[in-house]
Amino acid sequence: MTTTQLTPNGQAPGSSPEPDDHAGTRQSALGLGRRQVVEALPAALRKLNPLELVRTPVMLVVEIGAVVTTVLSVGDPSTLGVMVTVWLWLTVLFGTYAEAVAEGRGKAQAASLRALQAETDARRRLKDGSHELVPSTSLRAGDVVLVEAGERIPGDGEVIEGVASVDESAVTGESAPVIRESGGDRSAVTGGTVVLSDRILVRISSDPGSSFVDRMIALVEGSQRQRTPNEIALDVLLGSLTIIFGVVVASLYFVADYSDAHQSVLVLVALLVCLIPTTIGALLSAIGIAGMDRLVRRNVLAMSGRAVEAAGDVDVLLLDKTGTITYGNRRATELLAVGGVEQAALERAALLSSLADETPEGRSIVELVRATTPTLADADAPAGAALVEFSAATRMSGLDAPGLELRKGAASAVQAWVREHGGVVPSDLDAVVGAVSEQGGTPLVVAEREAEGRARVLGVIHLADVVKDGIAERFAELRAMGIRTVMITGDNAVTARVIAERAGVDDVLAEATPEDKLALIRQEQRGGRMVAMCGDGTNDAPALAQADVGVAMNTGTVAAKEAGNMVDLDSDPTKLIEVVEIGKQLLITRGALTTFSVANDVAKYFAILPAMFVPAFPQLDVLNVMRLSSPGSAIVSAVVFNALVIIALIPLALRGVRYRPAAAADLLRRNLLVYGVGGLIAPFVGIKLLDLVVSLLPGL
Partner 1 sequence: MSDLLYVLVTLLSFGSLALLAGLIDRRLADPDSDHDADVPGSAADARPADAAVPATSNGGRR
Partner 2 sequence: MSQTLPALGQIAVLVVALAVAVPFLGRLLAHVYTSERHWRVESAAYRVLRLDPDADQHWRVYALSVLAFSMVGVFAVYAIARLQPHLPASIGMASFPADGAWNTAVSFVTNTNWQWYSGESAAGNLLQASGLAVQNFVSAAVGLCVAAALARGLARQRAGGRVGNFWADLTRTCVRVLLPGAFVAALVLVALGVVQNLAGARTITTLDGGSQSLPGGPIASQEAIKQLGTNGGGPYNANSAHPFENPTPLSDLFAVFLMLVLPFAMAWAFGLIVRDRRQGGVVIAVMTALLGTSIGLLTWAEMAGHGTAPQLAGAAMEGKEVRFGEAASALFAAATTGTSTGAVNATHDSLTAAGGGLAMFNMMLGEIAPGGTGSGLYGMLMLAVVTVFIAGLMVGRTPEYLGKKIGQREMMLVAGYVLATPVLVLAGIAVAITAKDGLAGLQESGPHGLSEALYAVTSASNNNGSAFGGLTSGTPFWNTLLGLLMLFGRFLPIVLVLALAGRFAAARTLPAGPGTLPTHRPLFAVLLGGVALVLVGLTYVPVLSLGPIAEALS
Catalytic amino acids? 320
Exposure string of 172-195, with b = 16+ CB inside 10 Å and e = fewer, is bbbeebbebbbeebbbbbbbbbbb
What are the phi and psi torsion angles at 597 (to 5°)? -60, -45
Residue 502 CA: distances (Å) to CA of 335, 440, 485, 599, 654: 21, 10, 13, 46, 38
Report how far Cα 146 is from the mean position of its chain's Cα atoms.
34
> 205 is in the binding site of which of partner 2, partner 1, none (Cβ under 5 to 8 A by kind)?
partner 1
Verify binding: residue 50, partner 2, rule CB under 8 A: no
Verify binding: residue 536, partner 1, rule CB under 8 A: no
Distance, CA of 462 to CA of 370 (rounded, Å): 16
Q: Contact 293/106 with Cβ under 8 angstroms?
A: yes
Binding partner 2 (rule: CB under 8 A), the pick from 104, 550, 591, 632 is: 591
The continuous run of DSSP H or E covering 170 comes out as helix 169-172
Verify binding: residue 631, partner 2, rule CB under 8 A: no
The continuous run of DSSP H or E covering 62 comes out as helix 57-75
Distance, CA of 143 to CA of 138 (rounded, Å): 10
Binding partner 1 (rule: CB under 8 A), the pick from 292, 457, 541, 611 is: 541
203 forms beta bridges with 144, 158
Binding partner 1 (rule: CB under 8 A), the pick from 232, 250, 616, 692 is: 232
The site for partner 1, by CB under 8 A, has a size of: 36
In one-letter notation, the amino acid at residue 333 is T
Verify binding: residue 251, partner 2, rule CB under 8 A: yes
Binding partner 2 (rule: CB under 8 A), the pick from 10, 75, 374, 527 is: 527
96-155: which residues touch partner 1 (CB under 8 A)?
141-142
Shortest distance (Å) from residue 679 CB to partner 2? 11
> 663 is in the binding site of which of partner 1, partner 2, none (Cβ under 5 to 8 A by kind)?
partner 2
Stretch that binds partner 1, among 200-208, 346-354, 379-387, 624-632 (CB under 8 A): 200-208
Shortest distance (Å) from residue 94 CB to partner 1? 30
Stretch that binds partner 1, among 398-406, 488-496, 524-532, 584-592 (CB under 8 A): 524-532
Stretch that binds partner 2, among 18-26, 103-111, 307-315, 629-637 (CB under 8 A): 307-315
With a CB cutoff of 8 Å and minimum separation 6, the contacts of 451 are: 403, 404
173-192: which residues touch partner 1 (CB under 8 A)?
183, 187
3-state secondary structure of 466: strand
Verify binding: residue 229, partner 2, rule CB under 8 A: yes
Verify binding: residue 265, partner 2, rule CB under 8 A: no
Stretch that binds partner 2, among 56-64, 333-341, 420-428, 480-488 (CB under 8 A): 480-488
The site for partner 2, by CB under 8 A, has a size of: 73
Strands 144-147 and 121-125: antiparallel
Verify binding: residue 522, partner 1, rule CB under 8 A: yes
Distance, CA of 249 to CA of 253 (rounded, Å): 7
> What's the first-to-final CA gap in the chain, in angstroms?
58
Residue 686 CA: distances (Å) to CA of 91, 628, 648, 682, 693: 16, 12, 12, 6, 11
Smaller CB separation from partner 1, 136 or 565: 565
Smaller CB separation from partner 1, 183 or 615: 183
406-465: which residues touch partner 2 (CB under 8 A)?
none
Closest C-alpha to 267, from 278, 258, 256, 280? 256
Half-sphere exposure of 90 (CA within 13 A, CB side): 17
Instruction: Sketch the per residue contact string, 554 through 593, with partner 1: x for CB under 8 A, - otherwise.
Output: ---xxx--xx-x----------------------------
> 545 is in the binding site of which of partner 2, partner 1, none (Cβ under 5 to 8 A by kind)?
partner 1
> 598 is in the binding site of which of partner 2, partner 1, none (Cβ under 5 to 8 A by kind)?
partner 2
Smaller CB separation from partner 1, 307 or 432: 307
Strands of the 396-401 sheet, one edge to the other: 326-337, 455-467, 442-450, 404-409, 396-401, 386-388
Smaller CB separation from partner 2, 234 or 690: 234
Burial class (CB in 10 A: 0-12, 13-18, 19+), 240: exposed
Q: What is the 3-state secondary structure (H, E, C) of 633-699?
A: HHHHHHHHHHHHHHHHHHHHHHHCCCCCCCCHHHHHHHHHHHHHHHHHHHHHHHHHHHHHHHCCCCC
Smaller CB separation from partner 1, 229 or 402: 229
Verify binding: residue 98, partner 2, rule CB under 8 A: no
Helix 631-655 vs helix 79-116: angle between axes, to the nearest 10 degrees? Answer: 10
40-99: which residues touch partner 1 (CB under 8 A)?
none
Stretch that binds partner 2, among 105-113, 336-344, 357-365, 668-676 (CB under 8 A): 668-676
Distance, CA of 672 to CA of 657 (rounded, Å): 12
Binding partner 1 (rule: CB under 8 A), the pick from 166, 204, 266, 643 is: 204
> 531 is in the binding site of which of partner 1, partner 2, none (Cβ under 5 to 8 A by kind)?
partner 1
The residue ranges that bind partner 1 (CB under 8 A) are 141-142, 157-158, 183, 187, 203-206, 229, 232, 306, 310, 522, 525-526, 528-531, 538-539, 541-542, 545-548, 550, 557-559, 562-563, 565
